[in-house]
Amino acid sequence: ISVLYRAASLYRKGDVFRYYYQGPMFHRNREGVAQESSQLGVELVGSSNILSENEIISLGIRLLNEVGFYDATLKLNSYGCENCRRQFFIDVKTELKTHSDRYCPDCLQELGANPFAATHCENEHCQHSLPPLLQMSNYLCPECKARFEQIKKIQANLGNIYKVDPYLTKNFAYYNGTVFDFVVKKQDNELVVGGGGRYDYLSERLTGRKIPAIGFYLDLDLIFQLMKERNLFLMFDNDFSVYIYAQSPELEMMVLQIAQELHSQNIITVLGTEEKPEDNLKQAQAHKCDLMITLREENIREGKLLLYNLEHNEQTYIPLNRLLDAVQLVRKTLKK
């Protein structure tokens, strides 16, 4: 919430803010008992672009991969928009009223408060899962459905393993659109080590301004516990960074693929979402990036990319298959 208020105080249309936080969080568990946990959070505020959405999701997976959780996978769902989920809420309430005998009092209360809830009822006589037809995926409007399909396609192309979970539970008053969980395995169990989603409506309700936002959290207590069990350790290097942007939406997938390849070499990337080249240059300079990679359709057809050395104010065209070598050479030259 504090991130939203800070962004709102600085926000001008077209601005994109990337924040992270780390510290103690306080909440109540399912039994209502107060608990404290350590959490890492990442928020991207100011962009509704699907590129930004996949940037955030992929960052969560990459962070888990980099500390050794190569089995980390995604659970995905969509909570739709206000228009397409209105009928879903009506049908859930009708189901609970018409077939109240199928649910125990706790499940009736939980599903009544949050239609997206996946209850954990231990009463074997309680049919606590809603009928298959009452899934938000069956109510998505054409725009939300197309966006969700594109999210899945991009994540698959990036090599991130995902599973659509129609009962993935989040607070519907908090989230809209894409929601997700990060999952790792422990023996035969799946453990949720983090998750998040888009929260455009919450942003507007809290700040009074239409500021698109998406983010995720990681449960550091659980992650550190699992790291200890697996004998893992963290590696990081934050000296050298590369700014990447595409001059057409058709090339945004390639931006993500290049970023993923650079991440595998422990190179920080900043993904540009500005439309004009000069605005992207300003963003690259503002983030103190060392290099800027520009993707243009005419260059891609010729099998090359534009590489701009921001430190030396030099630019050159690099063959696609030599990009990583060229970036590493500049990194070595700058002694980073």
The answer, yes or no, to whether residue 5 has pLDDT greater than 80, is no
Angle at 228 between CA 225 and CA 229, to 5 degrees: 90
- Confidence bin at 106 (pLDDT 50/70/90): confident
The answer, yes or no, to whether residue 297 has pLDDT greater than 80, is yes
Angle at 278 between CA 273 and CA 283, to 5 degrees: 50
Burial per residue of 90-117, b for 16 or more beta-carbon CB atoms within 10 angstroms, e otherwise: ebbeebbeeeeebbbeebbebbeebbbb
Model confidence pLDDT, tens digit, residues 304-328: 999 999 999 999 999 999 999 999 9
The predicted structure's pLDDT at residue 236 = 47
Strands (E), 100-240: 162-164, 176-186, 189-198, 213-219
- Confidence bin at 61 (pLDDT 50/70/90): very high
- Cα 192 from Cα 222, distance rounded (Å): 9
The predicted structure's pLDDT at residue 276 = 92
Domains of the chain: 2-82+140-230 (3.30.930.10), 86-137 (no CATH), 241-333 (3.40.50.800)
Q: Which residues contact 276 (CB under 8 A, 6 or more apart)?
A: none
pTM given for the model: 0.70
The predicted structure's pLDDT at residue 209 = 81
- Cα 223 from Cα 246, distance rounded (Å): 35
Contact 148/159 with Cβ under 8 angstroms? no
Model confidence pLDDT, tens digit, residues 126-137: 655 667 668 898
